[in-house]
Structure formats: structure tokens, C-alpha cells
Structure 1
């Protein structure tokens, strides 16, 4: 006796397993930091979102993004209230991470942090910098000795916009930030994107941001494979966001 096609289809649907996507809580920074990331209307956006979504779509994970202030993000990560943290770096808060088996991915996003000044001060060296501004949570690594020695006074603020206004009005001699983030923020403020410029002759940091996890080392391994095997796709995402 022939089996009807409709019956065959019903049997196949019955025996196929239902594959549920695993929900992963991704802790991300609440602060605006385009083109890397931003939170608008409660929605996480930017390069990091596009990169992580591309990985999740291919790997079968369902990422739920949890934007948090920088300090709370670290504490929630170490306490296991979020599964992943982005951005992260092995040097960041190393003392607080001691005793936790934090697994870091391969480099996920290139960045430069350095000194930005008004164009007329470009190339004038470090000697003119007495008041240096940076964002709360940032560590100006190349200038720690001068700051600790009292030669440079560090001013920190929660908002990048406040720092840029202070530097533009000469209330700060310079800011220590990411040049791409500064240019984007200046444009958002209606100011010329070159009203503060990066001085490459001064000490700066060229490095990468990483994805990290304590609870899911196997996910970090999968992410590393994605970065390697989908290198062209990753490069296209970076290009789209100007990175």
C-alpha cells in the first residue's frame, strides 16, 4: 500500500527534534561609544552588535544584550549575572578579576587611544599638557607616571561630550580618548569633526577589544573560529562602521 505524501510529511515533522536556541546574556556598556556601540531607546547598536549578531546567527545562540554602567558591568560579569562581556581586555581590572577563570577571545575590534588637542596645538609635545581629560573608567596608561608624579592633573567625566566641550573651550589642555569616537561625537554635537585632532607623535595605545566569558569558554572558542573562518564578513562589518 502506498503511503500518502501528506502522511509522510506529518511523520517527518513529528520525528524531527525541536532545536531551541540557547539564550546567552551579553553584558555591554551603557555609555555611548559609536562607532563601536551605543544604546538608543534601550536597543544596543553599532559595530559590536552587528558582529555579535552575525556570530550568534551562525552558531545557534540567542543573545540578549544587557546594557550596564561600566563598573556594574564588571561586577555583574564576575558574579555570573551576565554570561559574556564586551568590550573587555586582559589588562582591565586585573586585580578584581584575580581568582576568576576569565577566557578572552581573539582580537575582536581594533582601537587607538591617545591624546587629542586643538589643531593649533598639534605637534607641540607633552610639556604643554597640564590638565588632561578622560572618561570615567578609562586609564591613560602612557601617562600614569606623569599623573602619579603630579605633573599632569587628570580630570574625569561621565560623558565624552562634556570633555570635548572643555577641551574646545581651553578648560582642558587635551583629552585622552579614541579618535574615531571623538570624531563621531563631535559630528553629533554639530561641531567640525577635526576641531580636535589626534597627535600620533605623543604616546598612545594601539590594541584590540575582546569578548570574554567565565561561564562559557566553549562559546569563546566558537567565536574565535567564526573570526577566522568568516574573516571577510568581519572585515566588511568593520568597514561599514568605519573601523
Structure 2
């Protein structure tokens, strides 16, 4: 009986959702190859993935690029229906009391330390000033930051952080190596200006799609990721992921 009811619910609710605009809250900041916004147009891996899902299910997605902090507030208050990227670990205190539905993993990522090549393999002890982007949490280094052993410097733009690291104004940056590689090309800097140190603590995880009020859409997205796995892999390959 329960399975029949769930099936009937999907048959009625999903077509209804497909008739309305679904507002997708996304990050305004440049973060290629995952995403960026150019002339008001959201683009990148996330856009292609979500568009492919929407096309197959008849959804009308309207992308709402927002600063990171405002994006979270608009999501929790219901001003946007979906949020990407998201993660259960992010902003846990602010999310407390909200019943948030997370998708299956939608995009792999690595966050870690990048240094100038001559500092590769020199260990964590040389890092006193660590740069990262506003909205980022360098999880593996929080104990040392809270203990005052590492001072965190944050900036809005990744290119600013890369220039700071290249000119020794910070000892290292905590970012996504793929994003850094893309940004170095955009800045016409040498590909090895900053290199990822895999021996230092880093995070290997995934980004998720989330929703508070549309759990059935998240379930449909999960089925899409599973049933259209080859298409998802092709989109990832296209964007170098």
C-alpha cells in the first residue's frame, strides 16, 4: 500500500512541478570548471548537468546566481527552491531545524593546499598564513587556525589569492586544484606556478543538490544520476572532471 501511494504521489506531484518555474540558487562567484556567471548567464558543469536533468523531466529551471552568504539565507527562507552546490557538513549550525533533502553525489571535488613548486613536500609546519576564498572552510586546518598556529586570510576572488601566493604574501592557498588550474590559464600564468601538495591534509568529497520543499524532485534527480550515468560521465569529461 505504501509503495502504491508513493507511486501515485509521484504521478501527480512531478507533472505539477514540471509546469512551474523551479528557482535554483547557485553561487555567483567564478568557479570553473564547475560554474561561473558571464553577462548574467549561469554556465559550466553544474549548468549542463542540471539542464540535462530538467530537459528529461520537463522542469523549467530558473537559475538565481547569488553571493554565497545570501544564497544560504535565500535557500533557508524558501526564496529559492533548490541549492547547488551544497553539502550536509556546510553551515550545519545555520541549517539546524530545517529538514533538508540532499541528492546523491553530483560532482566530485578535492580541496587542499597549493604552494609554489619550491615549497612542495615541505610539510604543514611552514604554513603560517593560509589564503582561501570567502565562504570556504579549510576543514583539515581548523584546529590549527583556532589554536592560532595558522592565520587565515580570505578574499572574494580566486585570482587575488593566486597572486598573493605567487608573491609570497601568503604561504599557501586552500582551494580546489582544478579550479586553480583553470584560473591560472585565464590569468596566463604558468601551469606550475602553484601546485597541489597531496601529502598535506585535504578533502576528497562531492557536491550535492539540495531542497527543503521538493524532496520528490531530489528523488527524481537521484534516479537521473543512476539511470543516465553515461550521460553524466560525458558531461564530466567535457568539463575536465
Q: TM-score range by the shorter chain?
A: over 0.9
Alignment correspondent of 1:232: 230
Where structure 2 has 5 or more consecutive residues not aligned to the other structure, the ranges are 1-16
Cα drift, residue 235 of structure 1: 0.2
Cα drift, residue 201 of structure 1: 0.1
Partner Cα distance (2:203, 2:172) in 1? 16
3-state SS of the aligned residue for 1:154?
A: strand
Partner Cα distance (1:216, 1:20) in 2? 12
Cα drift, residue 21 of structure 1: 3.2
More helix by share: 2
1:167 to 143, 165, 168: 165
1:48 to 46, 49, 52: 46
Alignment correspondent of 2:118: 120
1:147 to 142, 145, 148: 145
1:81 paired with 2:79, answer yes
Cα 1:20/1:196, change in 2 over 3 Å? closer
CA contact (8 A) 2:102 2:209 kept: yes
1:71 paired with 2:69, answer yes
* TM-score, with structure 2 as normaliser: 0.92
Give deviations 1:169-207, integer Å, cap 9, x for gaps.
Answer: 011100000000001001101101221000000000000
Partner Cα distance (2:167, 2:18) in 1? 55
Cα drift, residue 20 of structure 1: 6.7
CA contact (8 A) 2:164 2:170 kept: yes
CA contact (8 A) 1:130 1:152 kept: yes
3-state SS of the aligned residue for 1:91?
A: coil
Give deviations 1:209-228, integer Å, cap 9, x for gaps.
Answer: 00000010000000000000
> In angstroms, what is the RMSD of aligned CA positions?
1.0
* TM-score, with structure 1 as normaliser: 0.91
- Moved runs in structure 1, 4+ residues, more than 2 A? 19-22
CA contact (8 A) 1:114 1:205 kept: yes
Aligned length: 225
CA contact (8 A) 1:35 1:181 kept: yes
Where structure 1 has 5 or more consecutive residues not aligned to the other structure, the ranges are 1-18
Cα drift, residue 22 of structure 1: 2.5
1:108 paired with 2:106, answer yes
CA contact (8 A) 2:18 2:57 kept: no
Alignment correspondent of 2:201: 203
The structure with the largest alpha-carbon Rg is 1
1:216 to 199, 214, 217: 214
3-state SS of the aligned residue for 1:127?
A: helix
3-state SS of the aligned residue for 1:150?
A: coil
